[in-house]
Amino acid sequence: MKLEVKNLTKNYEEKEVLKKVNFTFEEGKIYGLLGRNGSGKTTFFNCLNEDVEIDQGEFYLDGELLRPTDIGYVISTPVVPEFLTGKEFLQFYLDIIQHKISNMRTIDEYFDLVKLSKEDQDHLLKDYSHGMKNKIQILVNVIANPKVILLDEPLTSLDIVVQEEMKKLLCSLKKDHIIIFSTHILELAMDICDEIVVLRNKKLELIQKENLTKKSYKEKIIESLKEDKNV
């Protein structure tokens, strides 16, 4: 399975954010999308997810036009129905999507995937921490099982224990998915990602992950990001 981005261009009024971006993402890998704040990482995700109208370009999944149902998107600031408990929300979601699930699990089994305790399941979502809301958001995407999963800074706000739990979960998913993981933290990308992609000067560029272990190469990449004309 391959996701092909062809000639993607996106402008906001007079500001050009993405310019004729061409890139191919492959199944079985987690791609780390690196770039400075303001470089266009979230805009790139919003274009793929059809949250914004693009000026030019097309997206293909295995040669066919990408459909909204092919995409799962975990945003950096999770939005959940805060008047429901975690268990109520998950049951509501499962009732809606159950016809699309081939191997339905129990609610407890789903919560076990993201290490959410029985006590927390009965709390209102409005009382969940940012990290717990992120867990719920990731869990919903695991259940929906889209072919492409976009993760916009999903682990930055999590404590080290929860980060490790989520890393293991994401690594277990990559076999049958294309996962693109946006972050501005190089060490996090190095830890979890199979490939590193840099967004700079309105384009995507694959860089050799193994070279980033070399101090001189790492410093060169950082210097090039400082010179990003898009920021």
> According to the model, what pLDDT value does residue 101 have?
84
Identify the DSSP state of 84.
Answer: S
Buried b vs exposed e over 199-224: b needs ≥16 C-beta within 10 Å?
A: bbbbbbeebeeeebeeeeeeeebeee
pLDDT single digits (tens) 165-199 = 888 888 888 888 999 999 877 888 888 899 999 99
> According to the model, what pLDDT value does residue 226 have?
67
Q: Which of 215, 199, 179 is CA-nearest to residue 207?
A: 199
pTM over 0.75: yes
> According to the model, what pLDDT value does residue 162 have?
77
Q: Which of 67, 151, 48, 169 is CA-nearest to residue 114?
A: 169
- What is the distance between the alpha carbons of residues 131 and 73, in angstroms, rounded to a whole number? 16
Per-block average pLDDT, block size 10, for the chain (231 residues)? 96 91 96 88 94 95 93 88 94 91 88 90 93 88 92 78 82 90 83 90 87 71 70 66
- What is the distance between the alpha carbons of residues 95 and 148, in angstroms, rounded to a whole number? 23
Domains of the chain: 2-79+146-226 (3.40.50.300)
